[in-house]
Amino acid sequence: MKIVHVVGARPNFMKVAPLMAAIERAGFAEQLLVHTGQHYDAQMSDVFFEELGLRRPDVFLGVGGGTPTEQTAQAMLGFEKVLREHRPDLVVVVGDVTSTIAAALAATQQHVRVAHVEAGLRSGDMTMPEEINRVLTDRISDLLLTPSEDASDNLRREGIPEERIHLVGNIMIDTLLACLPRARKRGTVAKMGLEPRRYAVMTVHRAANVDDEATLTRLVEALERVQERLPVVFPAHPRTARQLQAFGLDGRVDAMPGVRRVEPQGYLEMIDLVAHAAVVLTDSGGLQEETTALGVPCLTLRNETERPITVSEGTNEVVGTEPKRIRTAVDDVLAGRAKHGRCPALWDGRTSERISDLFRSQIRITLPYFAAGIRV
């Protein structure tokens, strides 16, 4: 069996690394790693291969920047050539980035089966590019691998046949638990002169938050209010840094005495910071999951979340982007009124093994399917 894994942006690497390792241990498939190049710089890409033990990509498509439409088109053209050359039995896509839908579309058009890891997540906001990517990828994928029962329920409500839905757990937690001991040894908190549980971490990067001047201004005001209560580590995503400068807000951020604005951190450094924080403020889906697994209070700077299980069972609270509400939520956390959540079922560090077992069980389905000449 030949399996092609597709990555394109920072969150993809943490999901693919444990799965490729599990399949390699099981020894039933040849694997190929394709990097579209959607995100490609040392801090957002290269460092993750080193820290996660993920092998270098076998194929790099070099998609680079551009609009989502341009990226999708370039990734599809490049990936179609990969499919024709390597003729895989299964394509694995993860998450909800542009590369995810591009690879799924190209594979489906070539009649190659697609497995979507992290399927079924829904925010209900179709103005989000990520939501569009999720819905479309799930519609055309053959194997829908969900992180939680609510995600499986979403697919059932959309009419997806039960045999395509597989509850496997959260693969991000596999990487988190495996890397946590090494992350703590980095001593990132001490190196920054911070005290555990006496600082906050804030990250924003989604288009709805950083591309709209009014929204980003509100978030800067919220940052201003929060840093009056406790120090805030602010790893500035490249997109966020550009928009702060474009809207003339970067000077305001840099003038805040309680804000430690830093470059995007490596995975291990970021996990160490998050694990020891008093509270995390973010619009990142991955951080919502990781804080729930770590038992760290999380305030989601959006009006909705595609990961509601982190709210219903975990430590997450959706607070929007209004400065007053954000500051009040931080005050509640510091006063000991934070949510006390629990880790959801199957967030146990063994998701990659369950997916590997599922793929191995598909050999009898996949190989005759392609041997029959259906694939182009």
**Residues annotated as part of the active site:** 205
Sheet holding 90-94, edge to edge: 59-60, 30-35, 2-7, 90-94, 113-117, 143-146, 165-167
* Residue 227 to residue 244: CA distance in whole angstroms: 18
7: left (phi over 0), alpha (psi -120 to 50) or beta: beta
Integer Cα distance of 80 and 86 in angstroms: 10
Name residue, tokens 């959260």. Answer: 170
Beta bridge partners of 143: 115
Q: How far is it, in rounded angstroms, from Cα 274 to Cα 272?
A: 6
DSSP structure class, residue 133: H
Identity at 334, one-letter amino acid code: L
Asked if 91 contacts 104 with a C-beta cutoff of 8 angstroms, the reply is: yes
| DSSP string covering 315-331 | SEEE--S-HHHHHHHHH
